[in-house]
Amino acid sequence: MVLFRMAQIDQSPQGAGPVLHRAKIHWVCLLGPSTLFIIGAIAFSIRPVAALVMVSAGLIWGIVSVCNVLFSELTVTETNLTVKIGSPFQRVHQFPYATITYADIEQPPLGTVLRYGKVIIAQTDGRWMAFNTVANPGEFIARLRQGLVRFGNENVSSGRSGAA
């Protein structure tokens, strides 16, 4: 398992170049299902049927959330941003740097303390994508902005050399 994880970290998504940064989903998204499970367990002696429904819903929600935490990632490479979200039906979003016009984060006060937040990406076609509960969003956005600046500088310098 550890060897597989290490090999997986070194691979870049679909030949996009070396991975500059990889972010995961924060564990805080597990608080909702665990709270529902605990409340259902406490209420079991008062209302067993309702408590069983709450415990079952918390357990199912928890399993899905754990899979999301384990299998979701945001990957910054030299040429694009790749976002893999969800499990078992994983959605993959590719954002070439040429299409990204804006990238920022929103952090609630608790997110600042626990180091999680929402990453917002705007594209040239006017579409916005937001990814919630990203771990260490400040570091992620800093690396993404470095990649965008590097990509912009390479395109400007290659444009000038092509015109000369």
Task: Report which of residues 14 and 97 the model is more confident about.
Answer: 97
Contact yes or no for 95/121 (Cβ under 8 A) = yes
Looking at the structure, tell me whether residues 93 and 134 fall in a common domain: yes
What are the tens digits of pLDDT across the range 89-131? 889 989 999 999 999 999 999 999 999 999 999 999 999 999 9
112 part of a folded domain: yes
66 part of a folded domain: yes
Full domain range(s) for residue 97: 78-155
- Counting the structural domains of the chain, the total is 2
161 part of a folded domain: no
56 part of a folded domain: yes
Task: Report which of residues 54 and 12 the model is more confident about.
Answer: 54
Q: Lay out the sheet containing 128-135: strands in order across.
A: 100-106, 116-123, 128-135
Q: Looking at residue 135, which CATH number applies to its domain?
A: 2.30.29
Task: Report which of residues 161 and 150 the model is more confident about.
Answer: 150
The pair of three-digit structure tokens given for residue 160, joined into one six-digit string:
């000038």
31 part of a folded domain: yes
Predicted pLDDT at 10: 47
Looking at the structure, tell me whether residues 65 and 83 fall in a common domain: no
Contact yes or no for 108/41 (Cβ under 8 A) = no
Number of CB atoms found within 10 A of residue 9's CB: 11
Looking at the structure, tell me whether residues 58 and 94 fall in a common domain: no
The pair of three-digit structure tokens given for residue 114, joined into one six-digit string:
């626990």
Task: Report which of residues 13 and 146 the model is more confident about.
Answer: 146
What are the tens digits of pLDDT across the range 68-95? 999 999 999 988 999 998 877 889 989 9
State how far the alpha carbon of 150 is from the alpha carbons of 12, 38, 137, 145, 147, in Å. Answer: 18, 48, 20, 8, 5
